[in-house]
Structure 1
Amino acid sequence: MTVPSATLPSRTDTQSPLATLKFRLIDLMRGTRTLELLAQLRQRQYDSPEKLATQGKADLARYFDELRANIPMFRDIPAFTDLPLTDKAFINAHREELRNPSYKGKVIRKKTSGSTGSPLVYYTSTETQSYLWAGLLLSWEVAGYKLGEPVAFLSGSALAGDGFKQRVYYKLLNVQVLSAFNLSAQTMSGYAAAIEQQGFRLLYGYASAIHRFACHLNASNTRPKHRLRGIICTAETLTPAMRKDIEQAFGVPCYSQYGCNDAGVSAFECEHREGFHLLSTRCHAEIVDGNRLISTDLTNRAMYLPRHDTGDLVRMADKPCRCGRGLPLIAEVIGRQNDVVVDQRGHAVHSEFFSHLFREDARIQRFQVVFDERTLNVNLHGDQLSDAELAALAAPYRERIAQAMSFEEVQFVCNQPFITLANSKHRFIMRRPAA
């Protein structure tokens, strides 16, 4: 199947006044300024690399001055590059010390497990949330989205959220969530029907979940009669083979998006799809030994997270993109991907299921799920537990897992060594290595 060529970003003068009103209402409810920032980013993305770099240097200097003035542990650090690298363990250990006592605005609590399965609790400001959504909308516009058009989210709680306010926001955003927790053949056939009937113009969600959906459509020779203009995959690596399968299933361009919200990283593919344009207006990015991406969210004044290690490996492009954007270009995100868990029936459950399952249990600091066709092993790390305590802790989780998937054997262990990959990076969901 020939996929239509990617198009240039949609003109904003075609968006409806009602859509603009709804988005302004969201900004008013959240205390954000998403639409204002989106208008700025539409223009600033085409500034020259030199102009963006000059502004970025000034923003970083201002951030560093405020950091030293407000956070005692950094007061005597002479230069920004002398700051220590921060990671989840450092932030969790110094969470209150990193909060800005001078910040008087609204504080938003965030909790994420990320790619390592180690929970991180941090705080952001309304400015950070404004940049998060403005960057997201900017990336959607590349795929042909116009403000207010219907969007389908194939995702879990990390993207979609599950609170009352979130549901109100999504109603105003014209977003419908399709759960990635259950990807049975029956469920995916229902999703295909919804895409046909509800006129979505954009499909957005986890790369592995959208790929699983596409493979289901291709295998069943199902071609939904949809109105999609584009598809955007996020949260995981989108391989060329995955992109090909997705475009075969839907017949529209498929884009990839990359982000790490705690580090202020937001990057998107343009119409040429030759790398990720990094919103350097929000963050200061550094590439250190071994291609490690270190980033500082310059917009978060509620809590300072300087020089945050994203845990990701990236390769920067050595020349600008043909599209004319001056933003730095990430040529490749080298190390990033979660597995979909597939049980003995072939029923797939997205890895986010386990993050959602364990993230609010204070006793569980880290975890790893290892599976094959027959067995699923859950390794919980936390305070030392007796066998009886572990059995009591595991019981409700075992029941939840049994409701979602079928394995001959589900085992729980506590504080056992994690299985690591060849590069020593911990993956919290993985297929059992072949013997």
Structure 2
Amino acid sequence: MNAPNAISPAPAPSLLATLRFRLIDLVRGTNTLELLDTLRRQQYESPEKLEAQAGLARTRYLEELRTLPMFSAVRSFDELPVTNKKFINAHREELRNPHYKGKVVRKKTGGSTGEPLVYYTSSDTQSYLWAGLLLSWEVAGYRLGDPVAFLSGSSLSGTGMKQQAYYALLNVRIFSAFDMSTAAMTQYAESIQSGGYRLIYGYASAVHRLACHLNATNTRLQHRLRGIVCTAEMLTPAMRKDIERAFGVPCYSQYGCNDAGVSAFECENQQGFHLLSMRCHTEVLEDNRLVATDLVNRAMYMPRHDTGDLVRMSEQPCSCGRGLPLIAEVLGRQNDVVVDPRGNAVHSEFFTHLFREDARIERFQVVFDDRTLTVNLHGASLHAAQLEAQCEAYRQRILASLAFDELRFVCNEPFVTQANSKHRFIIRRPAA
């Protein structure tokens, strides 16, 4: 293993950048800057030292978990059941920590199964979320306060006025992955060229689609980018090659599952994901399912949470010198971009965010081909006779972005399944 001096210390941020981030921390009740400094040091500690620290965190977590009636008899992680979205939604209030008096942040996510999850996190969890993200950006050349282009949906960027103020302080501009039409991508490219951005961060499929647009039109931007970080989906070697060809800078992948406390990033070697083991306890089951426990979240306990992802851990340390556990490969996390016959496209998360606040919709699936898009909504209060009226607003929103020959809404019909029996909420049918 190489010595830690293989990586030089992060450049000191400007006074303005520091003040901006401290203001964000003050308003959110987080300590992102201090934690980022800690993570910069900890990532190069030995695996043995990191595991000892994680062991202490696991012990503390179990002691606190036993104060909840449903877990009072638990003595080890092995005795805990594997939890999922259905379990957490059913026992949400029972899983909250009655002794936690700090700031609570409500989260709602659709995730890869299309089933919404509502949960609560603490300010410490939010600190780890952002510190881990900034650490992954620094690998790509980011320096605190640099302008960043976000190619994403609201799961990354948020839409409220408070979120917009945060991103202004972060020096971030949002480019919507919910509109990937040719006209929009041309505009995005022009803005990236003229905006002085040093980093692009966004959904892997959305960044890749923009890269393919640039390559297909033989467009080469004159930009100030140092690197690109992709998230939310697997970044395949072919996708990475297309992106690096389009922009001429290194492209990295970042992996996370915030509800389970998972935060991992590629280093300069691009040989896997370094897992922030100080934040979460991870287990890989026999079927390669990643089960993780957020050890930092004291607002709500979600032990042994099934992430829905399949991974393979590396048995060898990375030559970069980091002592963090290494996820060699994420085997099962790939969403489709939904593309209509005219070439308009939206990221699959468009539908997750479209339906996630509707309590009537328990699960959903979107199936499309070259002509038809079918939205299958599941919920006890949904009935076929009233469906067209109930879904009119959704129909109009979809038609504003996509133009299929036929847009169908059905309810409580069997989901289309795949060979591995895993439910996917976006499925592209092959052309006939």
Is TM more than 0.5 here? yes
Of residues 377, 388, 402 in structure 1, which corresponds to 2:399?
A: 402
Superposition pairs for residues 57-206 of structure 1, below 5 Å? 57-69=55-67, 71-206=68-203
Alpha-carbon distance in structure 1 between the residues aligned to 2:11 and 2:238: 36
* Structure 1 position 259, deviation (Å): 0.3
Alpha-carbon distance in structure 2 between the residues aligned to 1:202 and 1:79: 43
3-state SS of 1:100 partner = coil
- 1:40 aligns with 38
Alpha-carbon distance in structure 2 between the residues aligned to 1:361 and 1:220: 40
Mean CA deviation greater in 13-22 or 23-32: 13-22
Is the Cα–Cα contact under 8 Å of residues 9 and 141 in structure 1 kept in the other structure? no
Alpha-carbon distance in structure 2 between the residues aligned to 1:381 and 1:13: 51
Q: Which amino acid aligns with 1:129?
A: Q
CA-to-aligned-CA distance 1:173-223 (integer Å, 9 cap, x gap): 000000010011111111111111110000000000000000000000001
Structure 2: which 5+ runs fail to align?
1-5
Superposition pairs for residues 30-429 of structure 1, below 5 Å? 30-69=28-67, 71-429=68-426
3-state SS of 1:232 partner = strand
Is the Cα–Cα contact under 8 Å of residues 360 and 382 in structure 2 kept in the other structure? no
Of residues 8, 22, 44 in structure 1, which corresponds to 2:20?
A: 22
3-state SS of 1:115 partner = coil
Alpha-carbon distance in structure 1 between the residues aligned to 2:272 and 2:310: 14
Q: Which amino acid aligns with 2:48?
A: E
Q: 1:9 to 1:421 in 2, by over 3 A?
A: farther
Is the Cα–Cα contact under 8 Å of residues 347 and 405 in structure 1 kept in the other structure? yes
Is the Cα–Cα contact under 8 Å of residues 343 and 373 in structure 1 kept in the other structure? yes
Q: Which amino acid aligns with 1:12?
A: A
Q: Which amino acid aligns with 2:58?
A: L
Identical pairs, percent: 71
Task: Report the TM-score when normalising by structure 2.
Answer: 0.97
* Structure 1 position 11, deviation (Å): 3.5
* Structure 1 position 402, deviation (Å): 1.0
* Structure 1 position 81, deviation (Å): 1.1
- 1:4 aligns with none
Pairwise CA RMSD: 1.1
3-state SS of 1:313 partner = strand
* Structure 1 position 383, deviation (Å): 0.9
* Structure 1 position 386, deviation (Å): 3.0
Is the Cα–Cα contact under 8 Å of residues 369 and 431 in structure 2 kept in the other structure? no
* Structure 1 position 385, deviation (Å): 3.1
3-state SS of 1:19 partner = helix
* Structure 1 position 78, deviation (Å): 2.6
Q: Which amino acid aligns with 1:17?
A: L
Alpha-carbon distance in structure 2 between the residues aligned to 1:414 and 1:184: 29
- Greater than 6 Å deviation, 4+ residue runs: none
Structure 1: which 5+ runs fail to align?
1-7
The total of aligned residue pairs comes to 427
Alpha-carbon distance in structure 2 between the residues aligned to 1:416 and 1:259: 32
Mean CA deviation greater in 378-387 or 293-302: 378-387
Is the Cα–Cα contact under 8 Å of residues 370 and 431 in structure 2 kept in the other structure? no
Q: 1:403 to 1:276 in 2, by over 3 A?
A: same
Task: Report the TM-score when normalising by structure 1.
Answer: 0.97
Alpha-carbon distance in structure 1 between the residues aligned to 2:184 and 2:365: 27
Is the Cα–Cα contact under 8 Å of residues 257 and 267 in structure 1 kept in the other structure? yes
3-state SS of 1:228 partner = coil
* Structure 1 position 14, deviation (Å): 3.4
Q: Which amino acid aligns with 2:298?
A: R
3-state SS of 2:388 partner = helix
Alpha-carbon distance in structure 2 between the residues aligned to 1:139 and 1:252: 16
